Each structure stands twice: as structure tokens, then as C-alpha cells.
């Protein structure tokens, strides 16, 4: 019987692998036959992406000088341009239309950092499927997402666009996003291609200053910054974007080691690499190339296939320079051919040769209904909210209060909840915090709104009105934080306190004695020690997109029990940065009684809120980590279970997090590393046994020779509801 099963599975595997090989061969034959018919000019054209759609001329398209266009958001325009490329160019190669579909297209979902706080990859995937079909219906073939940069510096504005500080969480979410965009079938009209960016280590910019230099060891590169890209490649991402930063002396957009040796040779990535906007001509600014021609040669040789912003007269590099570089034999046509091949391969994979046009009828009947899309946005938004503090169970609020005062510029503005990066948002669909509170409060409750102050500036003119209103209220909800322009690209800050006079206003309102709930809206961790000490309830809502107000109100009034967990550490002050949970022990780990240990004189060594942290309206108790035995071989699978009990009075979802510590190793290892998690609903009084499976790769690391392996010895398995509060058990990996 057993033999039959093995033979059956071997046969299935054989058929599957053979069909993959056949598909690949067919693709290669198609691409090569096209390539063989192309002129040098046409080949170069395939490496050019235009970013100013208005400047595209019919001649450029019919001559085959354009491969791709960024920023088309209209099916008719897309079809019109495509028609010229397909019908009027010599070889009829279709155009590839790209957009930055970062957290939704028309439906705006929470910003990526918020979505990561949901620790719900399935729901994130669902949101990306919706974004994909909305974008595809308007002509998009490929999105410049997900951003999979690990970010450990909250000063860096682009932390908002990623999944935070952790390698494992970041990789799992990268996979979910790519699966969501690309679906099961890349050629489907509901799918778009994804692009993992920014390759690589862009998030490690010195001082959190956008575009800044990165200088890190190969070990850090391989352990921290590369894994989410590797996960993206393994799940089939069709493209990668090369980054702006220089990495250990070589700009990422001309880095042969990362783009060719690692990405192509080690990982066998055969998709397309596109430069970030102007990152090739910026090699001149890096003073790594003397001029744009040299920049073009260096980028193409390193492995950048397509030049983004190739239409900008001042900046384009491939279009004006590749011809003479090839003719003068400075770069070989073989290298050029390889890049063209990759572009054509991706166009083929996306089905553009069979279906170049937007099929408007398809979307009329296949677009999920508005209410389905809204429902996903609401579920994701509420799961992205993190309850940071809830003294004396101030939350959830009772529904039948007499009066609620809502304060803050951010409470009544539909623009900010959209957060940084929007493609085609619909402003009228945004439910502001104030709208949401009105939607969910009892009809008998008076809801008064007073702006109080702006996010920025020092105008205190409305302070008195806010104080008076607060005095006559049962509760005050203050929505404070950052504007949407304060995070995202080119939005780094050195001071990550609450901007303007917002905190001063909170202090005044607290003095009234009326209970205060602070709702934070921001794109990065902020330094909020005063709030933590003095405000009874604090909610982190980031930027939640269209359903901001409804999601917030569901949490405020207890229609939804918050389950979000921080994907990034909150520092006490900016001087603690970089601060992340998976740090090393050092030779002098912190010991409060001993002066000569790793600490600061002027601030507590711990973060304000640790990675993975987030409260619920109920409590969970962890007990009994069990493994089937204590000693394992290094190739064995370890089954672990833990018991989690809901000790409170209401249903709650808990994110159960599993961390591993390699106790002693030939290379210093982090104090703990997240290796698995699961989100479960537990009823009051119910106990659930949660099982995890630890595969050998989760115990492995790069040794001195950069070989990835498991070293025998003791490992600690820690499980809990955040990275700080865990229970542990140790196991031994035998020699």
C-alpha cells in the first residue's frame, strides 16, 4: 500500500514537473523567436519605461521605442495606446502598464504598516486581490508593490509602506501580498503582476534619512534584508525594483553582487528588474559613474533590465546611450539580449501577447460588489488597530453616553485617513473618525466636534472651546498624530514626537478630569511616553483607509474586540533608535544593578511598547509548552504545542507568537527571533491547544563561511502574545 502511494505521488510530481518544463520551453521558444527578429533599436525600446504618459507620441509607440508606461489609470486610454503598439509597430509587442498600487486602488485599505499590525496574511491577500482587479480594470498590468524593505528606524518615512521590523513577519506578508496581486493564474484578467522593492537594504538608510547610504555586513544583508525578497522570488513574483541607496560602496542599481550573483545566480530569478525612478542616472550623483552613458553601462551590466523614467530628457539613460554602447562594444549585445528576454518573458507570463487590451465587459460582470470590497476594507482596518493602553477598562465605551466630544484636525478630515501613496482613491468613500463615531454611537448621544488645533503649527485659539466642551462630556476622544504627508517617500523626521501643539491640548483636556481616549493616526511609531503615562486609553490606528471611522468606532464601542499587534517596536525616545526586539545579547547584557552593562544613563533600556504587543478587551493566559521529546536530530521536525485560555468575559482573537533562541552558537545570535504565529478566536473561558511545527530551516543561520545550517546545541522555544511576555521551554539538537 505504502509503495503504491509513493509511486502515485512520484508520478504526480513527474507530470507536474514535466508540464512546468514544457511551459518554460514554450515560453523560451516564443521569446527567442521574437528576439531574433528584433532590431537593435527595438531591443533598446523594450528596456524603456515612460513616466509621463502625456509625452508619449504615436511615433514612439509605432517605432517600438517604448516598452512600458507608468501612471495610466483609464481603460480607454490604455486600449488606445496599446492599439498603436500592437497594430502599428513592426512586431506588435504589447505595452506593459504599471502603477503604484500600494494599499488599494479605488478602495483604499490601511497603509501596509497598519495591515501588518493585523498579523492576518489571509486578509491582506484578500485586499490585494481586490486591488488587483480594480487596477486591472483600469489598465494596470503590474504594480510596484509590495515594498518588502525591513525597517527598523521610525525616522524613515517609508516605514509606513512596509511590514515593519521583522524578517519572518515581513516575509510572510510579502508572500501574501504577491499571491493576492498575482492570484493563481497570472494571465487571469483579475490578476496583475507584482514587483518586490526596493532591492536591497533601502530600509537601512543611515540615520533614517531617505535615500541615504547603507553600509552593513553581508551577514546582516543575508539575515535581515534579503529574506523577504527571497520569499517573494520563491512565491513567483514577476519583477523586482532596484533601490536608490548605495550598499557597501556600490549603488543598489548597479550592484552586480546583489542583482546578478544573488538574485539571478543563487536564487534563479528569471523575471524583470526595473530601476527605481531615475536611480540609473543618479549613479552620476553617487559619483559612481562619470556620465549617463557610463551609468547605463554599469546598470545594465549589473542586471537592471528596464530604465524607469526613460522618457525624461534630462534623466533617461538607456534610450539615448545603449545604442552607441553596444555599437562601440562597451557592452555586449548578449547582455542586452538577456535583459530584453526578461522583459518579453514577463509580458508573456502576464498574458499580454494573447490579451493586450482591457476587456471592459469582463470587469462589468466580475468586479466584486462595492459592499464586498467595503467589507474587506472594514475587516482589515479594524484588525489593524492596536490597543496600546486601557486603564481601568475605559474601553469599550458604553453606547448610551450623554455626550462625547471629539477633538483634533485628524478627526474630521477625509484626506488624511488615506495615508501616503494612493493610486485612484475615492475621497467620498472615506469614513472619517467623526463620521464613524456618529454612525455607531447611540442616537441619543450628543457628539460634539471641536478641532482644537491643527496637526502642525502652534495655533491655540480653539483650546478654550475644546476645554469647555470636554468639561461637559462623559468622554473625550482625541484624534491626533501626523498628516498623511509626514510619512512615505522623502518624509523622514528626526523628531518623532506628536507634532505641533496637539500634545499640549491633550494635557489641557486631561486636566478637566473627563476620561480621555487618544486615537493615534500616523505612519510610523511615535515617541509618546507622556501619553502612556497620563492618558487612560490609547489606540494606534495608523492610516486605515476608507473604513477608518467605522473600524475605529467598532473598536471604541466594543463591536469589535481589538486584536492588532505592533509589527515594529515603539521607542521611548529617538535616542534609543535603532531599537528592535531581535537584538544581540552583547558581552554585557543589561543588568540593572551593574553600571557597566548595555544601557543608557538617561532612559530606561526597554522600549515603550515591544514588537508584537497589543491589548485586547479580554485576557489570555498561556501555559504548558510541550514538545514530543527533548532531544532531536538536526534534520527532524519539532512539533510544539501551547495552551492558551481566554480568561476574560468576551470573545477575543489572539496572535500567538513563537520565538526561537539559539542559546550558544559559533556566530552571535539574536536574543530571540519570530519563527511562526497564528491568529485564533478564543471564546470566554475556552482553552485552545495551539500546535506549531518547527522545521530545521527555522533553527538555521549563516555560519562563518556563509553556509546556512543548524548547529547542534540548546534552543529555547518561547511563545506568547508579544515578544516580551512569553513562556519558554528548551530543547536540544543532537550532535
Q: Which residues contact 166 (CB under 8 A, 6 or more apart)?
A: 150, 567, 580, 581, 582, 611, 674
Query: CB of 183: closest distance to ligand NOJ in angstroms?
Result: 21
Q: In angstroms, rounded to a whole number, what is the distance separating the alpha carbons of residues 541 and 210?
A: 24
* First and final C-alpha spacing in the chain: 35
Closer to ligand NOJ by CB, 419 or 720: give it.
419
- Give residues 449-508 in contact with ligand NOJ (rule: CB under 6 A): 489
Closest distance to ligand NOJ from the beta carbon of 586 (Å): 35
**Least Cβ distance, residue 131 to ligand NOJ (angstroms):** 15
> Rule CB under 6 A: is residue 144 a binding residue for ligand NOJ?
yes
- The residue among 131 and 615 lying less far from ligand NOJ, judged by its C-beta, is 131
User: Should residue 277 be labelled a site residue for ligand NOJ when binding is judged by CB under 6 A?
Assistant: yes
Residue 532 appears among annotated catalytic residues: no
Residue 58 phi/psi, 5-degree rounding, is -60, -40
**Which residue of the set 100, 246, 270, 276 is catalytic?**
276
Instruction: Give a three-class secondary structure readout of 186-216.
Output: CCCCCCCECEEEEECCHHHCHHHCCCCCECC
Other Cβ atoms less than 10 A from the Cβ of 299: the count is 28
CB of 277 to ligand NOJ, least distance (A): 4
The size of the chain, in residues, is 735
Residue 421 beta carbon to ligand NOJ: minimum distance, rounded to whole angstroms: 8
Number of residues that bind ligand NOJ (CB under 6 A): 6
Give least dist CB 170 to ligand NOJ, A: 16
Q: Is 198 or 321 the residue whose CB approaches ligand NOJ more closely?
A: 198
Instruction: Report d(CA 139, CA 211) in Å as an integer.
Output: 30
Q: Which is nearer to ligand NOJ, 147 or 690 (CB)?
A: 147
**DSSP tag of 148:** -
Q: Toward ligand NOJ, which CB reaches closer, 100 or 653?
A: 100
Label residues 36-63 b or e (16+ Cβ within 10 Å = b). Answer: eebeeebbbbbbbbbbebeebeeebbeb
Give the nearest distance from C-beta 371 to ligand NOJ in angstroms.
31
Phi and psi at residue 324, in whole multiples of 5°?
Answer: -75, -30
Calculate the alpha carbon distances from 139 to 59, 247, 309, 711 in Å. Answer: 21, 35, 19, 51
Residue nearest to ligand NOJ (CB): 144
Nearer to ligand NOJ, 52 or 591 (CB): 52
Nearer to ligand NOJ, 253 or 522 (CB): 253
What is residue 668's three-state secondary structure?
coil
Is the Cβ of residue 202 or residue 463 nearer to ligand NOJ in the bound state?
A: 202
Q: Which of 276, 307, 383, 653 binds ligand NOJ (CB under 6 A)?
A: 276
3-state helix, strand, coil in the chain (%, to 5): 35, 20, 45
Q: Given the complex with ligand NOJ, which of 188 and 487 has the nearer CB atom?
A: 487
Q: Which of 521, 564, 613 is nearest to 120 (CA)?
A: 564
Query: What is the smallest separation between the CB atom of 197 and ligand NOJ, expressed in angstroms?
Result: 6
Cis check for the bond before 290: say yes or no (omega within 30 of 0): no
Q: How far is CA 663 from CA 515, 704, 729, in A?
A: 46, 17, 12
A 10 A CB-CB count for 534 gives 12
How many of the other CB atoms lie within 10 Å of CB of 147?
28
Question: CB of 144: closest distance to ligand NOJ in angstroms?
Answer: 3
Min CB(49)–ligand NOJ separation in Å: 9
Question: What is the spatial distance between Cα 541 and Cα 155, in angstroms, rounded to a whole number?
Answer: 18
Among 129, 197, 379, 382, interactor with ligand NOJ by CB under 6 A: 197
CB 330 within 8 A of CB 323: no
CA–centroid distance for 550 within its chain: 23
- Least separation in angstroms between residue 508's CB and ligand NOJ is 40
Contact 189, 553 (CB under 8 A): no
**Contact letters (x/-) for ligand NOJ, 509-548, by CB under 6 A?**
----------------------------------------
For residue 609, state whether it binds ligand NOJ (rule: CB under 6 A).
Answer: no
- Told to check if 177 binds ligand NOJ by CB under 6 A, we report no
Q: Which of residues 58-117 bind ligand NOJ (CB under 6 A)?
A: 100
Closer of 275 and 576 to ligand NOJ (Cβ): 275
Helix and strand counts by DSSP (H, E) for the chain: 21, 26
Nearer to ligand NOJ, 276 or 307 (CB): 276
- CA distance linking residue 165 with residue 582, whole number of Å: 9
> What is the full DSSP assignment across 476-509?
EEEEEE--GGGSSTT---S--SPPTTHHHHHHHH
Q: Is position 307 an interface residue for ligand NOJ (rule: CB under 6 A)?
A: no
Residues that bind ligand NOJ in the complex, under the rule CB under 6 A: 100, 144, 197, 276-277, 489
Catalytic residue list: 276
Amino acid at each position: 500500500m505504502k509503495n503504491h502511494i509513493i509511486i502515485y505521488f512520484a508520478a504526480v510530481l513527474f507530470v507536474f514537473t514535466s508540464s512546468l518544463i514544457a511551459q518554460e520551453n514554450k515560453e523560451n521558444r516564443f521569446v527567442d523567436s521574437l528576439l531574433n527578429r528584433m532590431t537593435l533599436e527595438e531591443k533598446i525600446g523594450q528596456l524603456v519605461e515612460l513616466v509621463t504618459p502625456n509625452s508619449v507620441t504615436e511615433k514612439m509607440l509605432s517605432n517600438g521605442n517604448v516598452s512600458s508606461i507608468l501612471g495610466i489609470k483609464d481603460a480607454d486610454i490604455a486600449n488606445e495606446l496599446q492599439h498603436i503598439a500592437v497594430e502599428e509597430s513592426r512586431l506588435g509587442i504589447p505595452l506593459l502598464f504599471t502603477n503604484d498600487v500600494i494599499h488599494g486602488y479605488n478602495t483604499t485599505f490601511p497603509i501596509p504598516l497598519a495591515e501588518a499590525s493585523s498579523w492576518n496574511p489571509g486578509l491582506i491577500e484578500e485586499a490585494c486581490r481586490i486591488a488587483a482587479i480594480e487596477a486591472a480594470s483600469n489598465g494596470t498590468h503590474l504594480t510596484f508593490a509590495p515594498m518588502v524593505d525591513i525597517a527598523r528606524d521610525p525616522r524613515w518615512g517609508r516605514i509606513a509602506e512596509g511590514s515593519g521590523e521583522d524578517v519572518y513577519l515581513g516575509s510572510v506578508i510579502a508572500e501574501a501580498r504577491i499571491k493576492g496581486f498575482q492570484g493563481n493564474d497570472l494571465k487571469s484578467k483579475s490578476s496583475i503582476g507584482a514587483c518586490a522593492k526596493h532591492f536591497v537594504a533601502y530600509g537601512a538608510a543611515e540615520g533614517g534619512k531617505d535615500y541615504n547610504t547603507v553600509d552593513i555586513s553581508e551577514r546582516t544583508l543575508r539575515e535581515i534584508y534579503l529574506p523577504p525578497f527571497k520569499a517573494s522570488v520563491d512565491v513567483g513574483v514577476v519583477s523586482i525594483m532596484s533601490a536608490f541607496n548605495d550598499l557597501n560602496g556600490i549603488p543598489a542599481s548597479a550592484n552586480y553582487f546583489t542583482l546578478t550573483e544573488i538574485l539571478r545566480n543563487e536564487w534563479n530569478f528569471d523575471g524583470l528588474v526595473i530601476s527605481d525612478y531615475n536611480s540609473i542616472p543618479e549613479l552620476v550623483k553617487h559619483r559612481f559613474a562619470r556620465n549617463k552613458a557610463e551609468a547605463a553601462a554599469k546598470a545594465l551590466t549589473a542586471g537592471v533590465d528596464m530604465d524607469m523614467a526613460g522618457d525624461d530628457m534630462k534623466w533617461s539613460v538607456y534610450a539615448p546611450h545603449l545604442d552607441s554602447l553596444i555599437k562601440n562594444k562597451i557592452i555586449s549585445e548578449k547582455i542586452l539580449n538577456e535583459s530584453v528576454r526578461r522583459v518579453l518573458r514577463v509580458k508573456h507570463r502576464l498574458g499580454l501577447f494573447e490579451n493586450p487590451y482591457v476587456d471592459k465587459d469582463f470587469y462589468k460582470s466580475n468586479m466584486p460588489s462595492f459592499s464586498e470590497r467595503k467589507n474587506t476594507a472594514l475587516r482589515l482596518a479594524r484588525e489593524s488597530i492596536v490597543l496600546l493602553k486601557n486603564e481601568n477598562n475605559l474601553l469599550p465605551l458604553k453606547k448610551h453616553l450623554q455626550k462625547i466630544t471629539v477633538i483634533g484636525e485628524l478627526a474630521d478630515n477625509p484626506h488624511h485617513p488615506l495615508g501616503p501613496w494612493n493610486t485612484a482613491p475615492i475621497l467620498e468613500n472615506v469614513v472619517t473618525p467623526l463620521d464613524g463615531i456618529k454612525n455607531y454611537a447611540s442616537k441619543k448621544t450628543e457628539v460634539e466636534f471641536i478641532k482644537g488645533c491643527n496637526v502642525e503649527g502652534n495655533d491655540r485659539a480653539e483650546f478654550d472651546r475644546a476645554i469647555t466642551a470636554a468639561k461637559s462630556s462623559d468622554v473625550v476622544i482625541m484624534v491626533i498624530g501626523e498628516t498623511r504627508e509626514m510619512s512615505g517617500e522623502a518624509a523622514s523626521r528626526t523628531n518623532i514626537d506628536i507634532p505641533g501643539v496637539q500634545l499640549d491640548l491633550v494635557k489641557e483636556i486631561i486636566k478637566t478630569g473627563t476620561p480621555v481616549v487618544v486615537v493615534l493616526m500616523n505612519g510610523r511609531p511615535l515617541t509618546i511616553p507622556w501619553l502612556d503615562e497620563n492618558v487612560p486609553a490609547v489606540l494606534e490606528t495608523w492610516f486605515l483607509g476608507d473604513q477608518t471611522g467605522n473600524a475605529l468606532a467598532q473598536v471604541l464601542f466594543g463591536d469589535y474586540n481589538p486584536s492588532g499587534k505592533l509589527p515594529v517596536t515603539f521607542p521611548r525616545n529617538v535616542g534609543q533608535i535603532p531599537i528592535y526586539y531581535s537584538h544581540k545579547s552583547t558581552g554585557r547584557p543589561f543588568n540593572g544593578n551593574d553600571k557597566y552593562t548595555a544601557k543608557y544613563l538617561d532612559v530606561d533600556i526597554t522600549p515603550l511598547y515591544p514588537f508584537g504587543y497589543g491589548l485586547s478587551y479580554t485576557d489570555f493566559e498561556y501555559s504548558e509548552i510541550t514538545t514530543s521529546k527533548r532531544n532531536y536530530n538536526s534534520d527532524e521536525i519539532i512539533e510544539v504545542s501551547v495552551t492558551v485560555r481566554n480568561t476574560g468575559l468576551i470573545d477575543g482573537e489572539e496572535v500567538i507568537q513563537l520565538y526561537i533562541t539559539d542559546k550558544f552558537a559559533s556566530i552571535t545570535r539574536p536574543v530571540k527571533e519570530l519563527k511562526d504565529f497564528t491568529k485564533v478566536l478564543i471564546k470566554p473561558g475556552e482553552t485552545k491547544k495551539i500546535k506549531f511545527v518547527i522545521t530545521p530551516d527555522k533553527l538555521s543561520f549563516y555560519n562563518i563561511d556563509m553556509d546556512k545550517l543548524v548547529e547542534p546545541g540548546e534552543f529555547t522555544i518561547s511563545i506568547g502574545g508579544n515578544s516580551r511576555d512569553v513562556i519558554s521551554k528548551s530543547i536540544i539538537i543532537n550532535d
